[in-house]
Structure 1
Amino acid sequence: MDITTRTVAVVGGTSGIGLDLARRFRDAGSTVVVGGRRTDLFDGLRAEGLGTVEVDVADGGSVGRARDAVLEAYPDLDTVVTTAGIGFPEDLRDPGHFADAERTIDVNVLGTIRVVDAFTPHLLARGSGTIVTVSSGIGFLPFPLMASYAASKAAVHSYSEALRAQLAGTGVDVAELVPPAVATTMGDSNPHALPLDAFGAEVMDLLAQEPTPREVLVQGVRMHRWAERDGTYDELVAQRSAALAMLPGRA
């Protein structure tokens, strides 16, 4: 895609990967509006030249109101990036984990669907545009300590594939961004996390390709994406299972 001329909504863009991509689209010349719950950050974001809109992806009414506000202010919107996401360590031996599992699925899976559903009619009506969903390398190579997060990102991958098939021929493209561990608030405890700046630069280079890749795979996530194909899946899952020792009573 031409990243210099887009009108982009980054939903879940007040921090982390979303904010980094929003700034990079802006720096490339695109018009960008950032959506999120943290309204206390909005003045600073607007001072950077980013539009803002309040949105909670776990609330369908909030998503609808945000959509209406965005399209009123940015009627030429042609790109929607769904970066909102959460994840928690879970002890699956303890049924008390269910509250975190439910919240994770609501934000990561249903939140993605709510945002896509809200903006797809607009993109279809204009006959062109791009939806960028965000899954994770963990969706392809599970991290057993974060079971529901991994399941949610596998679901986003599958949903993205179906969405792409259903929108084929409409002019609306679907690109799936597949991050590895990135040094954000969620991934900063991982010593192997990719620096956010390096990740964002590589992502934008990939997005700028023509045609835009169906899956946006930085070099650092390919070992996750292709583990089954490469015959390394079982070994890598076993290595990642060592993190279960962090759970109470598992050392």
Structure 2
Amino acid sequence: MRSSLKGANVLLFGGSGGIGKALLQSLARAGVASIVVAAHKVSSHDVVGVDISTEVIDVTSLASVQDLARRLSDRDIALVINSAGVNSNESLFSTNAALNARREMEVNCFGLMNVGLSFGPALAARGGGVLMNVLSFLSHASLPPLATYCASKSAAHSLNLSLRAELRPKGVRVCGVYPMAVDTSMSRDQQGPKMSPEMLAQEMVNFLAGDCEDLYPGEALHAYDAWLRDPRGFQAEMLSS
């Protein structure tokens, strides 16, 4: 299921964040016809050469996302990208751990499910399309300072696999994107090298021209290979880092 972006109509969740803004530029350069940016707040977008409209929605509310699907039913959207996400950047034993965990699960996991439930059938009804979810390499291994975030991404990864199993027979390509740390406000407290949002966005757009379902951009591919060879050993290194 290769995907041509030229002239396509795109729906982008989380377009007000660092990854989302970079995706707008990369999608415009790829020649898409229009982009609907769905975010929790209105934001301006400095992108030329493409029709951009904004919708304010709450991904944690199934009713809100379903209402958006009804409003966009005549747009022939071929590509849905969900880059909405939150990260408390706090440990499991922080004062707000329970609140953090609930918020991260609501956005990162239930938000993904709500988007899939609302737009998966719409993509299938048009004869096919792509649903791409930005996950994290931490879907596979836990980093103790980000324990609740990792848990939410692990749950989201599992849901993404289930969405794929349900929608693949209906012609919908469900993709997962698993980057290491990306240089956005969400990773502000993390040390070490970080991938630029622009590089990630371009890898995502390039990836759509193929027919694979999972993208491990940049150094994430090497980390994934190491994890596959020795999951326990890899996790042990994460716990000691």
User: Could you tell me the TM-score, scaled by structure 1's length?
Assistant: 0.85
Whether 1:223 aligns to 2:222 is yes
SS at match of 2:174: strand
Contact kept in structure 1, 2:92 and 2:148, CA below 8 Å? no
Over alpha carbons, which structure has the higher Rg? 1
Structure 2 match to 1:13: 15
Structure 2 match to 1:135: 135
Deviation, 1:80, is 0.8
Structure 2 match to 1:53: 55
SS at match of 2:131: strand
Structure 1 match to 2:169: 169
Q: Is the alpha carbon distance of 1:43 and 1:199 closer, same or farther for their aligned partners in structure 2, counting shifts above 3 Å? A: closer
Gap runs ≥5 in structure 1? 243-251
Contact kept in structure 1, 2:92 and 2:144, CA below 8 Å? no
SS at match of 1:122: helix
Q: Distance in 2 between matches of 1:164 and 1:9?
A: 18
**Runs (4+) of structure 1 moved beyond 6 Å?**
45-48
Q: Distance in 2 between matches of 1:141 and 1:226?
A: 13
Structure 2 match to 1:85: 85
Q: Quick one: which of 31, 35, 38 aligns to 2:38?
A: 35
Q: Sequence identity, in percent?
A: 27
Q: Is the alpha carbon distance of 1:199 and 1:223 closer, same or farther for their aligned partners in structure 2, counting shifts above 3 Å? A: same
Deviation, 1:91, is 3.4
Listed one character per residue, the Cα deviations across residues 86-111 of structure 1 (whole Å, up to 9, x for unaligned) are: 01133333564101101100110001
Greater RCO structure (CA 8 Å; 6+ sep): 2
Q: Distance in 2 between matches of 1:89 and 1:188?
A: 8
Whether 1:65 aligns to 2:64 is no
Q: Distance in 1 between matches of 2:7 and 2:225?
A: 33
Structure 2 match to 1:25: 27
User: Could you tell me the TM-score, scaled by structure 2's length?
Assistant: 0.88
SS at match of 1:8: strand
Gap runs ≥5 in structure 2? none
Structure 1 match to 2:192: 191
Deviation, 1:48, is 6.9
Residue identity in the other structure for 2:174 = V
Q: Distance in 2 between matches of 1:124 and 1:89?
A: 37
Structure 2 match to 1:206: 207
Deviation, 1:57, is 0.6
Structure 2 match to 1:246: none
More helix by share: 1
Q: Distance in 2 between matches of 1:140 and 1:232?
A: 9
Listed one character per residue, the Cα deviations across residues 85-140 of structure 1 (whole Å, up to 9, x for unaligned) are: 00113333356410110110011000111111111221121121111112101111
Name which of structure 1's ranges 139-148 and 190-199 shifts more when overlaid on structure 2. 190-199
Q: Distance in 2 between matches of 1:48 and 1:29?
A: 8
SS at match of 1:219: coil
Deviation, 1:141, is 2.4
Q: Distance in 2 between matches of 1:154 and 1:224?
A: 16
Q: Distance in 1 between matches of 2:193 and 2:236?
A: 16
Name which of structure 1's ranges 48-57 and 136-145 shifts more when overlaid on structure 2. 48-57
Contact kept in structure 2, 1:88 and 1:149, CA below 8 Å? yes
Deviation, 1:27, is 1.9
Q: Distance in 2 between matches of 1:197 and 1:168?
A: 29
RMSD: 2.3
